[in-house]
Amino acid sequence: MTNNNMYFVANWKMFGNLRSIKSTNNVLKLTKSKKFQKLRIIYCPPYTLLDALIKKTKNSKISVGAQNCHYKSDYGAYTGFVNAKMIKNIGANYIILGHSEARIEGDDDKKINFKIKSALDAKLKVIFCVGESLKNKNSNKTSQVIKKQINVGLKKINNYKNIIVAYEPVWSIGTGILPSKIELEKNINFIRKLLNKKKNGKKVIILYGGSVNSYNIKNLTKISQIKGFIVGGASLKAKNFIDIIKKSII
Ligand code: PGA
């Protein structure tokens, strides 16, 4: 069994400037070696760095994605926003939607559903994040919350070819706290079952995100249902990101 076709999504959040682009040099080098060629590395920088990263990674194995978009697919008078078409137009291929940090800023399940539809229409691949808050977890509402996020978020979407789901427990993001193996398997299997019920949902792959680092990656890769990772904090320094990638390849 090999896992050299795993996904590694670098979520830079609201970090980085033009100088940060240089940090991709060694990652680019890594993707040229045979052992790592099948990896799917996706950089999701802030909007301001999309263009520079797209240029930098042109003709490489690295893809670039945005971290959000407006829910309207058309152009319009929405000061301060960017739509999915614009993101595709500059050459990005992916988009993160439903991230808990965007949910805090007002993205509810219904809005996320509009966003996913507009991103798919624009031919972007969607990394759709779901996950429970600490409050949900402590009141045994994890399954209920995830079910709603998935069913409303993917409502009236029939083609799942360009959808990846990421399980990101909110309480694990940026905290250094990870779910136990049992908890992770339980929640990911639950997501799997929900997806399998949907027409063409069986092929949707599931990623994990939340405090992934070079110390915990080995254990995380032992969970066969996880096909890749969203890495936030640890993706900002190339060395850390590369360590994670190298340690996850068997
Ligand atoms: P983290 O972030 O790795 O810093 O916990 C992950 C994410 O928010 O996607």
- For the record, the structure tokens of 204 come out as 């949707």
pTM: 0.97
> 68 CA to middle of ligand 1, Å?
15
Residue 212 lies in a domain: yes
Instruction: Report the residue among 9, 11, 165 best suited for mutation to probe ligand 1: largest number of ligand atoms under 8 A from its CB.
Output: 11
Q: What ligand 1 atom has the least distance to the C-alpha of 212?
A: 3
**CATH number of the domain enclosing 207:** 3.20.20.70
CA distances from 147 to 7, 105, 109, 110, 167 (A): 24, 21, 11, 13, 12
How many folded domains does the chain comprise? 1
**Closest residue by CA, ligand 1 atom 1:** 232
pLDDT tens-digit map of 1-31: 357 789 999 999 999 999 999 999 999 999 9
Structural domain boundaries, residue 168: 7-248
**Closest residue by CA, ligand 1 atom 7:** 232
DSSP sequence for 98-154: S-HHHHHTT--HHHHHHHHHHHHHTTPEEEEEE---HHHHHTT-HHHHHHHHHHHHT
Tell me how many degrees the CA angle 247-183-189 measures, rounded to the nearest 5.
85
Residue 142 lies in a domain: yes
Residue 1 lies in a domain: no
Is 212 close to ligand 1, i.e. is its CB under 6 Å away? yes
Q: How many residues does the chain have?
A: 250
Residue 200's pLDDT is what? 87
Is 131 close to ligand 1, i.e. is its CB under 6 Å away? no
Residue 1's pLDDT is what? 39
Cα gap 169→208, rounded to integer Å: 9
Q: Point out the catalytic residue in the list 70, 101, 132, 168.
A: 168
Q: Which residues of the chain have pLDDT under 70?
A: 1-2, 250
Select from 12, 6, 113 the least CA-distant residue to 64.
12
